[in-house]
Structure formats: structure tokens, C-alpha cells
Structure 1
């Protein structure tokens, strides 16, 4: 099965694989019979509940989640193992739910880059167009469902999400559409597409407007976090950020004696007929030209906001309010979960013994989007998102302190020493987050989030390096690493790449170690940057607490903030 994947790996942004182990009889019984012409409101609500339950479950792979008590259909499954990556997860979950509920399902089976011949459909500059579609056959006896899921993971890639949100072709319609930005539209099951090659599913929107997401990865581990600035906003031609599955209808079918629908064709509901279709995420508020998205403004109740604050305000119940201590706790809990998910990914690589093999002579053409061993077991994209989360936490806490100094009405804080209270919450959550790894000598090394912050730019994304370097060890902690001079040289040369939190998928990065060492360095060089952004919020807060006797004007000195 793996060899088959390698034949198509160059087509996909997120590597995917489903493995099946079942008897022929079980395969024959797992049939998909279409009994409904369309997804009703109750079906869509059940879909939302299905995704929400899976997202809230303590499971670390897609296969674990689908076999957990959160899945009410698990007892009806044949003996099947699911290994699904980020792009596949929304499609496979939607198809799985449709199968279990007798619903129609269709998908884009081929995409073409709008950049012209030879363009990479995963990272096309102008998006993609649909050139072929397929759907679940409608027969009285039904069709085997598992091979359809297998087909999806071999066909679907992040290229499916990279399409123009204004496209409305009646025959080659897109599988998804752009929704409004409110609590009625951004619901569990909504897709969050990162144009840097990643897709997630929303599984909860909190009362304060925070959007919780989960996603699968090339090594089949699952991560959960909240949607932040790592999801870049772009123009409609690339389809970022939010997408929902388009309503479809089965027309012209006949109903067999057993209730199954036979024949007919699948029709997509046009954008204009979808209640929550909107180009708001591109047009701004008040709405402007979606193709001039760079200049879009965001105003709510007379207040000018940036896009991400506007989004959260729109999704909040009532007025958007920041409760800084609770916000810090929530952000650290999310980062803790992401770090524990990274641990799972590193352990998968170690179990395969990749760290014991010789590294290639040069890096992949792009370390963020490739295939083979590097795609499956390296973590540059995951690590970049983790660094972005730490930076976002740092920036937000700095903003909370500034808001407190001017008694900003949006900040809801009743104490009299916000820096000290934030610092106390930091240490509380740091103690609550249990992180550890087993070193090359077989001993357990305990870490904390505070340790991770101190070594954030030392965490190696390279699967060929020892576990100690994967976790940024130094001094005595590094002594058990068995890497030789060649791997040590690679680690040092990759420092500038580790400093970079921006994922540049369109930049050539296939350098040798000698070329990495020579430089020059910069965001568009493909060699990394000389320094990563400041993320040490603990040190920043400690500095303020130590200076608490200083005049407020000194504390608010812009030189002390990023």
C-alpha cells in the first residue's frame, strides 16, 4: 500500500493513506445505499454534533477517534484502519457520515492550476479550477463504502481547497463555499484552510469567540489548537480561510422497493441560494471589492478592528471582552496540547528508526511541502505553527498590559496587579502541562512549557537527528545524543531555518549543508532568518513585576514591547 502511495505522493500537499484489514464478507456488507435526495437541516446539525464530539475526545490519531465512544457509528464498521492526513480528514469524515446516514456524496476528482501548465496545484498563485467530478453511485443494492473512502484519500489534497470562492459553475462546481462570519455559520464541521498547505476542522466555537480546531498530519497524529494568525487571510482566488461543504441534491433518481435511490445526478446548490454564503472574509466590513482584499477594512459597532479581532468579535456571544488571566490559561492549555501532539509525531519518527539513518546530501526542494520520509516524519510546518502560537500569546499578553494601563473597556479585569496575576497563571499552567521524552540512553527527560519557550528555536524539525536535538537539548542533556559530526553540522546549519516562523512554500530550499552555512539569510532566501521573534512572555512579565515601583510611563515604554 505504501508503494502505491509513493506513485501519487507528488500530487498531494498532505500525504494520505488508508489501510484496510477485513474479510471479503465484511467488505460486501459495508455497503453505501443512498436513501435521501439531500442533506436536511437535521442531517447538517447531526454532522456538526458528530464533528464536535470527535474534537472533544482525548484521541491522538484519526483512527483512535473514529473508534472511540464519541463515534456513534463505530459498532457498524467493518474491521478497518484509517490513516488520514490533513486534507483528507474533512472529506473522509463527511463521506463517512454520509455513508452511515444514507446521504448522497460527491467530490472534485481533478483540479487544474490557474497558473497554467506545469503549475503545482498545491501552491498555485492564482488558485485552481475543477476539471472533473465524481460521486457515490446510486444503486438498489448499494456500493462498497470502504473503497470509496480509499479513493478519496488517494485523490484529495489541499489543492481541492485552493479554489476561487466566487466560482459558481453549475457543472464543475466546487465542493465548498465561503460562509458568513458569525456563530450561525462558523460551526463544527467548518473547514479552516491555511494556504501554506494545511487544513483543519472547526469543532467548537467558544462563547468568547475563540475557534477550536483539530487536524491530522502526515504521520497520522492528530493535533488540536485554536485558530490564530497562522491561518493567513488571502484573496478569494485561494479560498482562505473558511469553507463549508456545499449543499448537494440528487435529482432524477427513482426509488427502489427497498427504499434506495437509483440513478439520477448530483447537482450543487449555487452560491446565491445558500443561506449563509458570503464573501465577508474577503470584502471586509463594510463590504468592498473582494479582489482588493489587501485594503479591506473591518468595522464593528463603529470600532475599527484588524481581521482576527473582528472575526472573534463576530463570533462572540454579546460584546467581545478579554478576560486576560483566563485568556492566558486557555492559550497555554492549547499550546500544551500542541506540544504533546508534537511529542507523538517525534515518537512515530523514532519508532521508525529514521534518526539512525544517514541524512540526504541536501534538503528537499521545500522543507514544508515535499513527499517521502521527510513529509512523513519531519516537523517544520508543525514547529512553525507552534512558534506562531507562542508569539501570538506573547503579543496578546503585551496588548493586555497596554489595555490595562489605559483602562480599555474591552478588558475585563477586576484585580489590581495584572502582570503579577498573569505571571501566577503562567506558572500554574506551566505546572499543569506534563511533557517528557525518552532520550537515546532510555531515560525519561521531563520538560515544561517554560523549558520549551527557552529552547523553542533549538527544537529540530529534522527526523534524521537524535531525539535530544528534536527537543533542543543542550549541555549535559545533549550528552546522550549519538549523532556524529555530519548530523551535528546539519543541526548547526539549520539554525536559521529554525528561527523562521513563516512557511515559505514557494521558495527553493534544496540546499546542501555548505550552502546553508554560507548564507545569505533572509525570509526569501530559503536558508532561514538570523533571529526569531521574541516569545518569552514569562521573562517579559517578570521584568514588569520587578519594576512595579517604577512610574507607569516607564512600564509603558514602547521600547519594552515588540
Structure 2
């Protein structure tokens, strides 16, 4: 079943039970009612006033189309993006012969808000695409559909990447509020699915090569996203690379500026510092230069080289730069709903990076949710909700500048070169999310309290808060199942090699099989997550302002939640596959009871039973066939306090 069909069916089921759920868990489909169709056939101003509506703009709305050169008989995708919500707007397409169709429209956001539709088999000739609400045209665009498909090596002016005289591609568009909104809308659509579903890819290419998910699928007609094409882009970024890869991919397809810096990893005494800027117009070995002017590489060859350069330059230090530093790829912003849009990046002080992909609004019956994606060293991409167990924040780590950040935009300088905007310029430039260092003054408690108010502005019932915290922990455990299984698969397929274990703090950041299949960073976050769940009842008394207690005393509510906790942790469970292939069920209560064992469960040289903390001599551990070398176990014991205390060491 195609993605759109799955979402449509899910949306229909949610409508049936909406009185119970009371929340929007996935994209909203604007239906094709008979009344709406009748209105669409009536009077409607369609790009007839000679204004910029013919280019796809109007009333704060921009209409984007894909592919870059639409072709008869092939799907034409339309996305209207608005800075402000336009309610139940719909997309209408008028064909060359005058036939007008009201398309099934997927509404997402915001902010920004987007409206997504597909013309399955357009005819050749000019089509008029219009976003309407209450029979009023909000924006429209005239789209010429070609008879034959051709690669977009020479796109229309200002509509995509041009063949460069130097570097990988020449920026023909500029970053502004419109393109930033489009980027956010694309990120949200790429990782869209009901919030109740687990969403993951291994690697990212699975998402980019899904024509129903990726608005830019084969946008340039180069076979760049075709899963059957050997020349397709290799898309397997890890944690730090993921936001960069997505920003570069979008920038390349759209002909926008993109830049990155080669940063060091910082020290215990200072955050990372970065070197010279590398942009899409910087000469890259093998892609040609303005002075030597060799034969230009094929566009896909050139961009692949650029993305390999990106993978070699970008690392966890790129996101941990000081908040006031200007020689950076990211800049910090305010903690507001408008600022933390899809595409915003969260860098924790220890090197992990997540990207915001969706907000789910709070309703009377359900709490709000902030969803993000992150990458892992094994190439897997997962979606998870914001909470203390996944978004680690601390402002007392001298060697890091943590928090939410945005990509620093590049603009054309007076000399024609691409240059980054300064922090001062970003404070008041209406085109971009404003620069702010307010996060550096927030303690951990204050940071999570601010985020809690953003996600649930009306507060949250204490019992509901416990339920959602427990659900988030289970999500984290289920994601860990996949990571551990990936390590088991590697061991089976390679005759159980011994992965070398790095020394000291390098267990958290290295290269090779240990980086790919060990889970020290994930397990550190798991220890924190379990601690957050166990201490939630005490937090009701310590911070009653975060909960909707009504007239009840915090101590009374705490007692009730403690009873709920005892019952719920025995009901929620996960299952993993043991070494002999049998299934092992573990309740959350089981896992909380073996927290100590999970302090030394990150080594891929250990069997899966040990990875899940099976007690020595237990029936569960009886199927274990592989142990880490004694010297590695001894070194793990030496650093066990890091996991027990839930605090990573200084670099």
C-alpha cells in the first residue's frame, strides 16, 4: 500500500474515533466534498491579474512544483507553503482544455503550513495550479508540462542548480523566508507519519527513494533517487551528518547556497572552533575550477564528491560550537514555537544531534508532541519525541554550546561570493529565524520547563504526563532493539570478530565497528530516561507548576501517580530475540530492576542477552554464546561510574 493511501486510511480511522483521541496524529486530508467541487467550478480568479501570482506567490503563500521540468503522463507534485495557517484550503488544477479538478490535499504544519497534492497524469501544455479557500484564490502558478522528459541540466532561470564554472553547483536562488518555509515543509513531509507509529529508515536513502514520501524524488530527471539506478545518490548519513546531508540535498535540488566548515572537536576547556567556509561554489578536486577549467564532471558525479567531502568534514563538534561564535554552520535561536520549526537542529553537549520534524498540538484529551529524527553510526534514522531521555541539555559543560540551532544562511556578497550572515545581522533580519543566546542562561530544569510549556501550553495532567513519559521510554527501548540487532547481524555475518574497544572517553566517539555497533551514548541516554521516569512522582511535589493539579495537593497526586507507576511498568513491555532465535519478553519493571546490569551492556562483543542485562546464571542468559574479552570487561568496569552517575566525562 502506498504511503498516501496508508495515511488516508489511517486518517479515516482516526476521524471515526476522534471523539476519543481528540488529537491530530498525522497529516490532515482536506476532502473533495461535492460542495467544494461545485464552488471550484464557479467564479475564480486564476493568475489573470498580471501580478506575481503567475509565478506561484500571493497572500503570503508560495506554490512549488516537482519535478523541475514536468512531463506529460508523469506525476506532477504540488506543494503550497504558507507562513500562516490557511485553514481548510485546497489545491485546484486547471488543465489546458479548461477542465478544473479539486485535488485531494494533504495539510500539514505549522508553522509553516503546507498543502500537498498530486496530478497523477497531466497532459502536455500549460496548467494553472491554485490554492483556494472559500472559493477565493490565495495563490496560483502557471505550470508548463512538457511532452517529453529530459534531464534538467539547463533549468529555467532561478529554478534550480546551474552547471557551475567552479565548484559543484552555482546557486541560482537565494535563501529567504519563502525558501526557508519550503525547506521546513519538505522536512516535515519527508518524515511524516501518524505520531502513534514508529518511523525509521536504514539508511536515509529508503526515505529519499520513496516517490510517495520525497517531494524531490528524481526532481532533476538524472535518476538521482531511482532505487534501480546504479548512479543514484548514496544517502547514509549518521548522527552529525544527517542535518547537513538534508540541507545540502535540498539546496542542490533547488539551486540554493550551502556551506560547511571543518571544525575541531573542542577540549574540556572550550567548545569546538571552525575553519574556513566551504560552499557549493568552492572548487572540489575533480569537479573543475574557474582557472583550470577542465571538463566538467557529470552533475551526479560532482554532487557525490561534494557529499563525500561533507561526510569527511562534518562531525559532532560541528553542532557544539559556542553560542556566540560567528564562524559556525549553526546559530542559536529563541525557544519559541515559531523558531523551533521543522529543520531546526538540537545539539546536546555530548555530541548527539537531532532535527525537528513535526509538532502535534495539545488538545483537551491528549498532550502535545514535538517529534525529531536522529541518525546512528550504523546508518539508521529514527523518529522520536522530545523529552529529557532523548534531548539531553546541560549548560555547565564548558566544552560545548548546546541547544536548538538553525543553519546559518549564506548570501551573495558585494564581490559575488557566498558569505554567511553575522549574528548581528540575524537578530533582526525578517527573512530568517532570529539569532538569540537566551538558552545559555537556562539551567537544565529551566530549559525543560520552557520546552514543556511550548509543547503543552495548557499544562498537563500528572497521570497523562506519566503515561507519555513511559511511552517515550518504551519508544527508546524499541529503537535500541534495532541497534543491538544490527550489531548481532554484523557479528553473524563476519564470524564473530572482536571489535576493538577504544580507550577512555573515546568509547563515545571513534570509527570502525565499535562506532557502528556499540551503544554507549544510547545507553547513557537510556539510564537518564529511566531516571526521569522513576523520579517523575517526586517532580510533582518539587515543581507543581508544571502540572494541572486542580485543587488537589501535590503530595496526594504524587501518591496516586506512584500507584499508577507500579501498575503500568508491569504492563508495558518489549521483546528481543535471543542468541538461539527465541523471543524474550521484558517488562519495563524488569528493565528498571536491571539498571545496574545495563550500565555495562553497550559492548557489541557481548551476546545479545548481556546487551539486555540478563542476570548471570538466569535461564535468559543460558543461551549466551559470546562474551567480550576480559580486558574489555575490565576497562568497562573502570568507567562504569559514568553510566551510574549519568554523566559523560570531559574530552
Structure 2 portions without partners, runs of 5+: 1-149, 163-169, 194-198, 226-231, 283-289, 291-295, 363-367, 429-433
Q: 1:483 to 1:333 in 2, by over 3 A?
A: same
2:510 alignment counterpart: 370
- Report the alpha carbon displacement of residue 457 of structure 1 after superposing the two structures with TM: 2.7
Assess if the C-alpha contact under 8 Å between 1:123 and 1:196 holds in 2.
no
User: Superposition pairs for residues 146-545 of structure 1, below 5 Å?
Assistant: 146-168=304-326, 173-207=327-361, 211-223=370-382, 224-228=384-388, 230-234=392-396, 238-251=400-413, 264-274=416-426, 275=428, 276-283=434-441, 306-313=446-453, 315-316=454-455, 318=457, 321-353=459-491, 356-358=496-498, 363=503, 366-400=506-540, 410-412=547-549, 419-420=559-560, 423-424=563-564, 427=567, 431=571, 433=573, 435-459=574-598, 460-474=601-615, 475-483=618-626, 490=633, 494=637, 497=640, 499-506=643-650
User: Does 2:267 correspond to 1:130?
Assistant: no
Q: Deviations over 1:226-263 (max 9, x none)?
A: 2426222247973211211112213469xxxxxxxxxx
1:385, 1:501 within 8 Å by CA — same for their partners in 2?
no
Match of 1:133, SS state, is: strand
Q: Any conservation in 2 of the 1:329–1:426 contact (CA below 8 Å)?
A: no
Contact in 2 for aligned 1:325/1:422 (Cα 8 Å): no
CA-CA distance at 1:419 after TM superposition: 4.3
1:236 touches 1:282 (CA, 8 Å); kept in 2? no
- Pair 1:154–1:60, CA change in 2 (3 A): same
RMSD of aligned residue pairs (Cα, Å) = 3.7
Kept in 2, the 8 Å contact 1:54–1:71? The answer is yes
Residues 412-421 or 453-462, more deviating: 412-421
Pairwise CA distance, 1:432: 5.6
Q: Which protein has greater RCO, CA pairs closer than 8 Å, 6+ apart? A: 1
Give me the TM-score of the superposition, normalised by structure 2.
0.59
Q: TM-score, normalised by structure 1?
A: 0.68
Deviation track 1:109-150 (CA, whole Å, cap 9, x = no partner) reads x235xxxxxxxx254531233321111129999943232222
1:327 Cα deviation from its structure 2 partner: 1.5
Separation (CA, whole Å) in 2 of partners of 1:142 and 1:247: 27
Q: Distance in 2 between matches of 1:492 and 1:70?
A: 45
Q: CA deviation at 1:311?
A: 3.9
2:251 is equivalent to residue 98 of structure 1: yes
How far off its partner does 1:481 sit?
A: 0.8
1 CA distance for matches of 2:515 and 2:324? 32
Q: Report if aligned partners of 2:234, 2:304 keep a CA contact under 8 Å in 1.
A: no
Give 1:378 deviation, angstroms.
0.6
Closer/same/farther in 2, CA of residues 427 and 366 from structure 1, 3 Å limit: same
Per-residue CA distance 1:289-329 (angstroms, 9 max, x = gap): xxxxxxx7x9xxxxxx733213433x25645x132222222
Residue 472 of structure 1: how far off its partner (Å)? 1.1
Shift, 1:85, TM fit: 0.9
> CA 1:448–1:132 in structure 2 vs 1: closer, same or farther (change >3 Å)?
same
Residue by residue, what CA displacement relative to the aligned partner does 1:194-222 show, whole Å, maximum 9, x if unpaired? Answer: 12121111223454676433210111123
Partners of 1:312 and 1:373 in 2: how far apart?
37
Q: Tell me, in whole angstroms, the C-alpha distance in 1 between the residues paired with 2:410 and 2:502.
A: 47
> Residues 245, 236 of structure 1: CA spacing in aligned structure 2 closer, same or farther, 3 A cutoff?
farther
Task: Write the distance in 2 (CA, Å) between the matches of 1:431 and 1:355.
Answer: 38
CA spacing shift, 1:423–1:98, aligned 2, 3 Å: farther
Using the TM superposition, give the Cα deviation of residue 280 of structure 1 relative to its aligned residue in structure 2, in angstroms. Answer: 0.7
Of the candidates 239, 264, 271, which is equivalent to residue 86 of structure 1?
A: 239
2:213 aligned partner: 70
How much has 1:492 moved relative to structure 2? 10
Closer, same or farther: CA 397–45 of 1 in aligned 2, 3 Å = farther
Return closer, same or farther for 1:472/1:29 CA change in 2, 3 Å cut-off: farther
Alignment of 1:32-43 (within 5 A): 32-33=161-162, 34=170, 36-43=172-179
Radius of gyration: which is bigger? Answer: 2
Task: Structure 1 unaligned segments of length 5 or more: list them.
Answer: 1-24, 113-120, 254-263, 285-295, 299-304, 508-562
Whether the 8 Å CA contact 1:328–1:422 is kept in 2: the answer is no
Instruction: Measure, in 2, the Cα distance between the counterparts of 1:230 and 1:409.
Output: 19
Evaluate the alpha carbon distance shift between residue 329 and residue 317 of structure 1 in structure 2; reply closer, same or farther with a 3 A threshold.
closer
Contact 1:359 1:487 in 2 (8 A): no
1:123 and 1:398 mapped to 2: Cα distance? 36
Contact 1:123-1:195 within 8 A present in 2 as well: no
